[in-house]
Structure 1
Amino acid sequence: MHPMVRILALVAFILPAAGTMPAFAAPPTDACSLLTAAEVSSSLGSPVAKGTYDMPGFTKTCTWTIPTGGAVTLQLQTLDFFNAGKGALASSERTSASGVGDEAYYLVMGSLDVRKGSTAFKVSVYTSEFGMDQRKAIEKSIAQRVLAKL
């Protein structure tokens, strides 16, 4: 068999197999790229300003300001940080959240922490306009929008 034919046969065999290998994407590093103001507004039920970084050059936290007061924040986390919150806090300080990512919990202090694969993030709604249950529903809606992009 001609050497070129052998190479082509090998390539034809290897390429399809390579396409079936799982892809391991790196966790995202830009929180503002995961949500638009329109998406946050839709979940919140009121308009928000365009997302901004809390500190210049630090892209793992993005905040959308609510004109009537308050804000929505998305913070990208490490798995260690997610697991620390899950394990270090008493059960009275956190409650499980079902139907969100691979694992999620609400913190009494006001956030929804979510893990999907090797990616973790926290969504927080800071406003006095909503009660606890409504805030949790909004955080869950926003988290589901983020998860759809991961």
Structure 2
Amino acid sequence: MIIGNMLRRVVPVIEYDKAMAVAPMAVPLGAVTQIVEQATLPSRPEIILTAGVTELLILHSQIMDELRDRQIVRTGNAPLGDYAELLFATAFGWSLESNSSSGHDATDAAGIRYQIKSRRITPRNASRQLSAFRRLPDNTFDFPAAALSTKATVSQRLS
């Protein structure tokens, strides 16, 4: 099943990406689904190219605060993991666990537990290896769910 198709059926695009100008395209990747969207923004907006290091760190902090206010991310970690959790939960109707929940990220109506992983693939790092499934022998989840996000010459985003 392609998460992008599920998401588009149940959530209007304006709800999860107010800046989206081009419809997303989903590409199956074996057991993992890769969802890619061509963005209309330049690879690096002018503000990023001209800002100093301190300004970039402040901008990053402000962006993370805004993503948290919009309930896109739930932690202070890199936003891709939180965003992937939100997308899977929205697309499949899962309930997200609290941040302190150990071993799984979401649960469906039948009580099935999901550990959600994501990975950003860039020209600098093309590895598709996901982070470790911790406490695997403890059976803390029933199924894994994974999404890969790519970054090509034109900026692309997981959606």
- TM-score by length of structure 2 reads 0.29
* Structure exhibiting the larger radius of gyration computed from Cα positions: 1
Larger RCO: Structure 1 or Structure 2 (Cα < 8 Å, ≥ 6 residues apart)?
A: 2
Greater fraction of residues in helix: 1
Q: TM-score, normalised by structure 1?
A: 0.30
